[in-house]
């Protein structure tokens, strides 16, 4: 494995593509139809700021997870083998600085709350990698909140640059509600996936004294928690589905049923009998794909076709 490929693998380039796609789809299919205002530069700055901070987060996560990864995924270790740990820390700081500078340019020295929250994200990602991820639920919550922030960040950064004077308040309300709905969706499914991953990685986590939910309470209670979360998500999505059917959004409803609700029902059905590391890995992958299909539903959402 050459160094360049190893670096892109270290920063999880596929996850970065997912972040970029999420924010780009939100801009094209949620923001533009409502406000009809092109903010190309702001979107580029938002995306690259998010990618820089996320990349740094992945690096520091692997840096602190080195001993765990030697057990859970010994053939995928990069830091200390292909990339020296000192260079990993160097790029961690460089990418964070780039992310903060891009955020500063994005807010145009206004809306300091957005800059503050991104700085908090940097700090939280460090503490998450160092300590939080080894604690029951706290690490899962942190990861899920940061996943939701991917959507909230572009929601707020775009709205901050729109002159709300003369705008219909219902348009702004619709924009917020749709953005928050997608954020909640990302948060909840991310919580499910993180707990499934904890069950998948139990061997290495236990040997490194991590206190994740399945280690602390056992696999069976962790499965019950996951099932409750899945039932909650599916119930919420069914309400949304019925709303879509009521206002005759047939294509949108069909997409949600086939590509979002059905995979979650499958995961709920299979989680009870999951035993091996491979079982949990498969379910984790399905939940990850479901997050993607949920985000892609923005393409089919004609946001101007319904009123709040």
Residues 84-96 pLDDT 10s: 899 999 999 999 9
| pLDDT of residue 172 exceeding 90 | no
Rounded mean pLDDT, 108-122: 84
pLDDT at 113: 83
SS3 83: strand
Q: Distance between CA 103 and CA 119 in Å, rounded?
A: 10
Nearest to 19 by CA among 66, 71, 55: 55
pTM of the model: 0.90
Please compute the mean of the pLDDT values over residues 61-82 and round it to a whole number.
Answer: 80
Q: Grade residue 294 by pLDDT with cuts at 50, 70 and 90.
A: very high
Res 108 pLDDT > 80: no
* pLDDT exceeds 90 at position 28: yes
Q: What is the mean pLDDT of residues 136-150?
A: 86
Whether the pLDDT of residue 78 is over 60: the answer is yes
User: What is the pLDDT at residue 94?
Assistant: 97
- Check residues 127 and 238 and name the one with the higher pLDDT: 238
Q: Specify the pLDDT at position 161.
A: 66
If one compares 189 and 160, the residue with the highest pLDDT of the two is 189
Q: What is the pLDDT of residue 202?
A: 87
Angle 112-130/85-107 helices, nearest 10 degrees? Answer: 160
- pLDDT higher than 90, residue 284: yes
What's the mean pLDDT in 108-121?
84
d(CA 244, CA 240) in angstroms, rounded, equals 6
Averaged pLDDT score across all residues of the chain: 89
State the pLDDT at residue 308: 62
Q: 31: closest CA among 200, 204, 181, 156?
A: 156
Q: Cα torsion at 102, 108, 114, 115 (round to 10°)?
A: 50
Q: Give mean pLDDT, residues 221-249.
A: 94
Looking at residue 306, what is its pLDDT?
67
| pLDDT digits 0-9 by tens, 178-232 | 999 999 999 999 999 999 999 998 887 787 777 888 988 899 999 999 999 999 9
Sign of CA dihedral 227, 228, 231, 237: negative
Confidence tier at 164 by pLDDT (50, 70, 90): low
pLDDT above 90 coverage of the chain, percent: 57
As a whole number of angstroms, the distance between CA 131 and CA 65 comes to 10
pLDDT for 278: 93
């Amino acid at each position: 494995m050459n160094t360049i490929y190893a670096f892109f693998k270290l920063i999880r380039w596929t996850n970065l593509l997912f972040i970029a796609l999420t924010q780009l789809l939100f801009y094209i299919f949620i923001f533009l139809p409502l406000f009809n205002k092109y903010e190309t530069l702001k979107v580029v700055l938002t995306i690259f700021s998010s990618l820089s901070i996320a990349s740094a987060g992945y690096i520091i996560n692997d840096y602190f997870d080195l001993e765990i990864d030697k057990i859970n995924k010994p053939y995928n270790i990069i830091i200390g083998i292909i990339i020296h740990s000192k260079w990993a820390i160097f790029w961690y700081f460089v990418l964070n600085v780039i992310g903060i500078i891009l955020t500063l340019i994005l807010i145009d020295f206004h809306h300091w709350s957005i800059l503050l929250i991104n700085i908090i994200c940097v700090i939280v990602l460090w503490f998450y990698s160092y300590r939080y991820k080894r604690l029951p639920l706290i690490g899962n919550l942190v990861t899920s909140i940061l996943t939701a922030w991917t959507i909230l960040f572009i929601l707020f950064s775009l709205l901050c640059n729109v002159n709300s004077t003369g705008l219909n308040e219902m348009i702004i309300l619709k924009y917020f509600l749709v953005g928050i709905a997608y954020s909640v969706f990302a948060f909840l499914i991310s919580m499910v996936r993180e707990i499934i991953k904890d069950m998948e990685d139990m061997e290495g986590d236990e040997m490194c004294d991590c206190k994740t939910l399945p280690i602390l309470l056992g696999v069976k209670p962790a499965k019950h928690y996951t099932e409750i979360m899945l039932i909650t998500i599916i119930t919420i999505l069914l309400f949304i589905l019925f709303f879509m059917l009521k206002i005759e959004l047939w294509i949108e409803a069909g997409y949600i049923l086939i590509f979002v609700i059905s995979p979650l029902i499958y995961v709920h059905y299979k989680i009870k009998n999951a035993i091996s590391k491979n079982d949990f890995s498969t379910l984790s992958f399905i939940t990850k794909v479901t997050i993607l299909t949920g985000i892609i539903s923005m393409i089919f959402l004609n946001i101007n076709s319904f009123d709040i």
